[in-house]
Amino acid sequence: MDVLRLQNLQKSFGSVRALKNASLTLREGEVVALLGDNGAGKSTLIKAISGVFPVDRGDIYVRGEKVSIRSTRDAMDLGIETIHQDTSLAPDLSIARNLFLGREPVNFGWLGVFAPLDLAKLRKAASELLKRVGISKKLDADALVSTLSGGERQSIAISRAMQFAAKVIILDEPTNNLGVEETHGVLRFVKEVRDAGHSVLLITHNIHHVFQVADRIIVMRRGEIVAEQTVADTDLLTVESIITGGDMSALLKEARAK
Ligand SMILES: Nc1ncnc2c1ncn2[C@@H]1O[C@H](COP(=O)(O)OP(=O)(O)OP(=O)(O)O)[C@@H](O)[C@H]1O
């Protein structure tokens, strides 16, 4: 089942054609890595899907239905959550508050003040969530996000997306600036997210990470999708060559002949 289908997306910034004719599909419960050199159009593509700006032309389908994404709210309502590098968490609030930020389960009091009972509920829900996503051992729901490491912050941001049953979770360079162990933790978590049935679009410059977690690879070059392969059917060197401008058909023939 295709959870997300992009058909012939086009987007220009003045004379720069950032997306020329980009089409791709994301199926249920798969991790697709979106690769491409600097300026290939990856950010433009994810911004279009996450509602940062509309495309000039082209169609977006969510679970087979044509949709119009005009704002980040539209994207979220359709079950598309994007997690940027800086994760957009509020550092001075607790993990519990961050997990539900803007979508707190219960109401505010008469004066818009959080009632103590609500906070208790929130904390309980947060602890349950952390337990469910398997990161409760190390993290206390009351801890401030500012005390967490980069990897833990990514995990909280991804948990938040899972919490709201996002069909599609877009991860924009989730392992940037992380240490080795933290990186492994986040990559392991990406697999768990997939195993829980969510679909993940992973943007990264690290091809090694792609081969560890992705099911499929899509390569963009100059605003176009130039290659699409299951991870099992390709290898690191081939993908690297495609990203940097190699002739894909020749490379694939070469790979098959090996
Ligand atoms: N807001 C903008 N105004 C003008 N040009 C833009 C804008 N955003 C992107 N571009 C241009 O569109 C093209 C695609 O950029 P984009 O940021 O999507 O690439 P990218 O693949 O995400 O690159 P990187 O890996 O460096 O982030 C580039 O030529 C870029 O300069």
Chain mean pLDDT for the chain: 83
Q: Has residue 231 got a pLDDT over 90?
A: yes
Segment 57-84 shows an average pLDDT of 92
Residue 80 is encoded by which pair of tokens?
């598309």
Closest CA to 130 of 101, 85, 163: 163
Q: How many CB atoms lie within 10 A of CB 199?
A: 26
Please check whether the domain covering 2-89+165-257 is classified as CATH 3.40.50.300.
yes
> Residues 6 or more apart from 48 whose CB is under 8 A from it?
9, 11, 19, 54, 55, 60, 69
CA of 211 to the centre of ligand 1 (A): 25
CA of 19 to the centre of ligand 1 (A): 9
pTM of the model: 0.82
Residue owning tokens 């877009």: 170
Q: Ligand 1, from 12, 24, 38: best to mutate by most atoms within 8 Å of Cβ?
A: 38
The proportion of the chain whose per-residue pLDDT surpasses 70, expressed as a percent, equals 83
Segment 93-120 shows an average pLDDT of 65
Lowest mean pLDDT among 2-16, 124-138, 233-247: 124-138
The pLDDT assigned to 197 comes to 87
Cα diameter, the chain: 71
Q: Has residue 11 got a pLDDT over 90?
A: yes
CA atoms of 144 and 222, how far apart (whole Å):
41
Q: Has residue 136 got a pLDDT over 50?
A: yes
pLDDT range class, residue 116, cuts 50, 70, 90: very low
pLDDT range class, residue 55, cuts 50, 70, 90: very high
Report the nearest-CA residue for atom 5 of ligand 1.
13
Q: Has residue 118 got a pLDDT over 50?
A: yes
Report the nearest-CA residue for atom 26 of ligand 1.
38
What residues are in contact with ligand 1 under a 6 Å CB criterion? 13, 16, 18, 36, 38-44
Sorted by where each begins, the domain ranges of the chain are 2-89+165-257
